[in-house]
Structure 1
């Protein structure tokens, strides 16, 4: 479980964030702090993995807390949840190391995407001393969950997508072709290409082109995030 601290001076917003957090799963809310001073006191006594942080609060603000966390060298990640949408605030938060930035008001889908992406990253890096370039690129090349669509593209259905994903899970240790997966699921190759393209877009599978000595290139796919929670939002 990822241990979370919510730092927010508005009780109503804190409650919304708490309810949203419960819906995602895999996260444990340790405390809710109405101020930076309260947050620092909690951090002195509790182990926290992730902070959901508002920026503008009475007294010390979110930037002050970010700076203090970095100064102390604490291994805590931060997702900013703020109404501040000016570029300077966003840039400043990112420079301080915020892993994501949610602009109020936002829908649950955006919150879920941010938390799921963070959970995937935390799972990938847990207990690993080294990462491959491919694993690192998953984070670096797709750092902004805003790019993940909240709805299925036109022509795709939830039931078929789940069937495709279940089949991918069965062979997740090896690569597969569009034709193989189409045969496993029982749909046309044209339809399967749409599903595989969507799964590639949301970052749970990867595609590579294999060139043989003769003939056309073969497109091979491989599951790169088998434990992803992002895919579950579409079922």
Structure 2
């Protein structure tokens, strides 16, 4: 028996990031993109109207902090889970999110692979809750392991095409201190933002590139890529 897709609401006021999240959801067979809210007010209305099963929640919004939604009756009463995606790296915010039952807490700038892994865990966690009517200790342990699983970056070439990879890597060949954002690479290669991010993260995973955060306005750091410095340089 095939389970119904889980509706997911994105709460994010940064349009390019919201669209990246939406594209990831559209490509996931067990999740369904339900809509995007760009403020707390929008989020409250869409939560009540859409009743999603999962919210991808930013903290810094134009009219307040997203974490306040975690005490919302629309989340608590409708058994809606939350994956917190934020630049808020202070322990108070992180602790509050955990206490309020966030399924996961992901720091910006977001690793595409990290978010994809989190969504996969959530789907598995949700399916087990739907199908298990009575649990034994092993079932309970399995659920806790899914929610607290350690992440390991998988190095591999799945979805990576050599010619495109070479094209991306060539942008960092000379000068050696070239620093580019996802948008910079998109403009120079003509690739989609989703594809560009996947290839850049692949280069980071394989040690060709390093990544650093550059902060502008609160909650909107940029992920900047540059050639990894070799020892002795």
Measured against the shorter chain, the TM-score band is 0.5 to 0.7
Query: For residue 205 of structure 1, what is the aligned residue in structure 2?
Result: none
Query: For residue 117 of structure 1, what is the aligned residue in structure 2?
Result: 121
Structure 1: which 5+ runs fail to align?
Answer: 159-235
Match for 1:20 among 9, 24, 28? 24
Structure showing greater radius of gyration is 1
Query: For residue 151 of structure 1, what is the aligned residue in structure 2?
Result: 154
Normalising by structure 1, report the TM-score: 0.60
CA distance in 1, matches of 2:18, 2:112: 14
Please give the root-mean-square deviation of Cα atoms over the aligned residues, in Å: 2.2
Normalising by structure 2, report the TM-score: 0.60
Match for 2:43 among 30, 39, 46? 39
User: Which SS does the other structure have where 2:101 is aligned?
Assistant: coil
CA distance in 1, matches of 2:75, 2:114: 30
**Contact map agreement 1:37 1:60 (CA 8 A) in 2:** no
User: Which SS does the other structure have where 1:78 is aligned?
Assistant: strand
Counting only pairs closer than 5 Å after superposition, residues 17-166 of structure 1 correspond to structure 2 as 17-69=21-73, 73-145=77-149, 147-151=150-154
- Structure 1: which 4+ aligned runs deviate by more than 6 Å? none
The size of the alignment, in residue pairs, is: 154
User: Which SS does the other structure have where 1:85 is aligned?
Assistant: coil
User: Which SS does the other structure have where 1:3 is aligned?
Assistant: strand
CA distance in 1, matches of 2:116, 2:75: 29
Structure 2: which 5+ runs fail to align?
Answer: 159-233
CA distance in 1, matches of 2:72, 2:124: 26
User: Which SS does the other structure have where 1:141 is aligned?
Assistant: helix
Q: Tell me the CA shift for residue 136 of structure 1.
A: 1.3
Q: Deviations over 1:166-188 (max 9, x none)?
A: xxxxxxxxxxxxxxxxxxxxxxx
Change (3 A) 1:74 1:13: same
